[in-house]
Structure 1
């Protein structure tokens, strides 16, 4: 991949906010799916939980695969 969609955090573990438009589209689609699921699945906690968990795991996986560096604990120092 030529350009990363997410940058790794300077402090902590994982990725932060997107640094490319593709990452923002992923987050917007995730938010839209959560809003639609909560509206359509009101009163049905199990299906809603399944949608929330699988969607969130999908976004985490995409962020992990499209980050600019490996995920590890960072304390703010130089790599």
Structure 2
């Protein structure tokens, strides 16, 4: 008996929240990306964390586009790059946004 706590190590709070580890309930403070009023998906971010993610995504896509301007033969890697970035963005929206469902205005 070494006297140390044998409990499993916990993830840092920011990473655990991002991965959905310790989210008890999704209230408005936890939602970075609200659901769209019409259609399926998420709208523009409502928190600074959401805007940071959105800005990083946009900057990375623009940086990738600048490489295409220099070397047009990199179009296929650029498309793959954008698909990967978009997948990461969608994963974050899924974890930190409202439940995606078909909406058409106010619920009846």
1:71 matched residue in structure 2 = 100
Q: Which has the higher contact order (CA 8 A, sep 6+)?
A: 1
Q: Which runs of 4+ in 1 moved over 3 A?
A: none
Alignment of 1:11-50 (within 5 A): 11-41=38-68, 42-43=71-72, 44-50=74-80
When you count strand as a share of all residues, which structure comes out higher?
1
CA distance in 1, matches of 2:65, 2:53: 18
Partner SS, residue 16 of structure 1: coil
**Which structure 1 segments of 5+ residues have no match?**
none
2:84 matched residue in structure 1 = 54
TM-score by length of 2: 0.66
How far does residue 29 in structure 1 lie from its aligned partner after superposition? 0.4
TM-score by length of 1: 0.87
Partner SS, residue 18 of structure 1: coil
CA RMSD of aligned residues (A): 1.5
CA distance in 2, matches of 1:22, 1:57: 18
Partner SS, residue 8 of structure 1: coil
Q: Which of the two has higher C-alpha Rg? A: 2
